[in-house]
A and B are shown apart, each in its own frame.
Chain A
């Protein structure tokens, strides 16, 4: 290819360099730009499709079969249509109870224990002394750094018979029945809130730091009290952070398995059998692999619906643009 072919219409004798630069830009068509973008995205896209897309599709496909861990249908499984879903949605399957427990876990440990607590921590610490902020912030973040399984074990030891809590009860002459038995959902929710509040705290701290001080000052001059400033100024200004926090917390809490499984195993009986534990028990303790995948699909749908709802709320507020 000659230079002339690449640069038609250049009068001879003209300086080449700046002209070449402009021409190169014009050669980059929208199609080419799109292809370049795609090529750059390709490795990431491949990873997502292979390691996230394919298992999800395969889970969905398996939920229409009768595959088991052992027995004749372990390897020779067949398509059974909606049989797993029919069984799941029939009364007595335990699905309704598990959904209820998952929602309790989401509201108590996710919304109240993580989002609300994280926001309050961030809000009050943002207006306290630096030393207080540093110490409390560090403690909260350390809780987040502890591996989940260690958190589970710590809380198990704290709450079990003969543990710290029972010794504290006995020290003041009270009898203690382990919360792991008497109120297992509250026990696991406390542990999850303790562990996860730091994430919301960090997110809200960053968002609160981004509020211009002149706005706050102006509102004070206008005579807005602390409550009015919080509800009319601070919360609207961090609303996009709130929605992002809710989306992430909802998915993480609904899908949480290891903390509950390590602390209570879903028990006693079915008392803390949230959806993720219900799924695991059906798939790997009752060996009903395909039935377990049907529960996984239900879990995915619930998480997806809630996430879509938040994003819709965010759009309606018009704050999606702000996020960008």
Chain B
């Protein structure tokens, strides 16, 4: 009956399009209890999307897991079936290439003609590119920093303003703190992520960022081979073994919530001397953060990561960041892509990035009023964005995910003293060879 009426022209011919609901899957770890970071971001982007598509509703789908790797497993399993697939997925950029190669993600060539695309830093474009195709848009990035306690430094006779110029400088400072606190077991001289419990953090901030301060790299883009050994690898495994007596006790590093232990307990109690962590850590202490504490910015200083011996350019870094992508089985790819564009627009990222403690992946966010206001309350973000010129990125290749797991396990075994640096180096070489095949590896001698 309705169709008959419609065909007779008694209702407007251009009837409103059917209502559509888009689901955006994200990890609970990005939305800690007491904050509203992800829902606020999704709602702001949805509002912008509804100006063009008033029929579209957007709902966030929080996937709750204790570890990041479990989130990816759950997400990848939902992407296998049309009945469970979300419309938009929020993924760490290191997984984008792997998921693209699995056929879980839809290439989005239309993104390259979107007005916002040209504002992205070139590296941020390559992070979401796999085999020449674009699979998403970045919404956040970060750099790694050294935070150091002014109180513990002064007690140990170390300078008030500190910038290490080599790994040796870091070890010397940590040893001085350990000596000054040898009767105080509450003080952790040096905090470094290690072991499998904290997942990617151990590989990323506990190994790779140091390896990047040597001449060796995980992957050789010139030869398209994985580097499995070399002087830089040996030096990095050695550094971890030297740090072991100075680092946090096993009960802390083997806990999946180790990041909360350092940020919400050790740092606020000024019980940790040197911390290697992401630039976002300071966000916890700003007003409205997880644990507001304006005193942080005077209690702790920040320093850049030196290369192994201070060799040019003097500093090193590694950045990650998260992207929004569209699964291959998502039923409304056009609308999904429109949501990705709106959620990644400069005014919306200018609010999301400071709220989530990240740095913007596109240059035009830095001039947005909301970003400028955030720098005023969180001076660390100013220092952090100055590190972007030194930064490097993880290989966006499917094998990385497995290689990262090898690194995580080895860092933990060094920390529990079940293997030596030499054994770690040998195991790394053999396991990576097993993962990628002996034709795809090389040993460095430079």
Contacts and interface: CB of A to CB of B under 8 A. Distances in A.
Interface of A: 68-76, 87, 92, 160-161, 177-178, 180-181, 265, 267-269, 281, 284-288
Nearest to A178: B251
B102 A269 contact: no
Contact of A287 (B67, B197, B402, B418): B402
Contacts of A160: 251
15 contacts: A70-B401, A71-B402, A74-B76, A74-B102, A75-B80, A75-B104, A87-B434, A265-B256, A267-B254, A268-B412, A268-B416, A269-B195, A281-B196, A285-B70, A286-B405
A269 B76 contact: no
B196 A285 contact: yes
B69 interface: yes
A69 to B, nearest CB: 5
A181 B252 CA distance: 10
B197 A265 contact: yes
B67 A75 contact: no
A181 B256 contact: no
Nearest to A74: B102
B402 A74 contact: no
Nearest 6 A-B pairs (CB), nearest first? Answer: A74-B102, A268-B254, A71-B398, A284-B73, A70-B98, A72-B101
B250 A72 contact: no
A70 B195 contact: no
Interface string B392-409: 000000110110010000
B45 interface: no
Given A268-B416, A284-B70, A285-B199, 10 more contacts: A70-B72, A70-B95, A70-B401, A72-B101, A72-B398, A75-B102, A265-B197, A269-B413, A285-B73, A285-B196
A161 B195 contact: no
A267 B412 CA distance: 10
Contacts of A180: 251
Contacts of B197: 265, 267-268
A58 to B, nearest CB: 14
Contact of B103 (A68, A75, A281): A75
B99 interface: yes
Interface in B234-253: 250-251
Interface string B374-415: 000000000000000000000000110110010000001100
A284 B254 CA distance: 18
Interface in B33-79: 67, 69-70, 72-73, 76-77
Contacts of A281: 196
Given A285-B67, A285-B405, A286-B402, A71 B250 contact: no
What interface size band does chain B fall in? 20 to 34
B154 to A, nearest CB: 28
A181 B99 contact: no
Interface of B: 67, 69-70, 72-73, 76-77, 80, 95, 98-99, 101-104, 195-197, 199, 250-251, 254, 256, 398-399, 401-402, 405, 412-413, 416, 418, 427, 434
B99 A70 contact: yes
Contacts of B427: 92
A181 B405 contact: no
Main secondary structure of the interface of A (DSSP, over half): loop
A269 B412 contact: yes
A181 B254 contact: yes
A69 B76 contact: yes
Given A70-B99, A74-B103, A286-B405, A181 B73 contact: no
A74 B80 CA distance: 9
Contacts of B418: 269
B76 A267 contact: no
Contacts of A72: 101-102, 398
B195 A267 contact: yes
Contacts of A161: 251
A70 B398 contact: yes
Contacts of B67: 285
A160 B216 CA distance: 40
A87 B98 CA distance: 23
A181 B70 contact: no
Which of B70, B99, B254 gathers the greatest number of chain A CB atoms within 10 Å?
B254
A70 B76 contact: yes
B427 to A, nearest CB: 8
Nearest to B253: A268
A274 to B, nearest CB: 15
A269 B256 CA distance: 12
A181 B251 CA distance: 6
Contacts of A75: 80, 102-104
Nearest to A180: B251
A73 B402 CA distance: 13
B69 A284 contact: yes
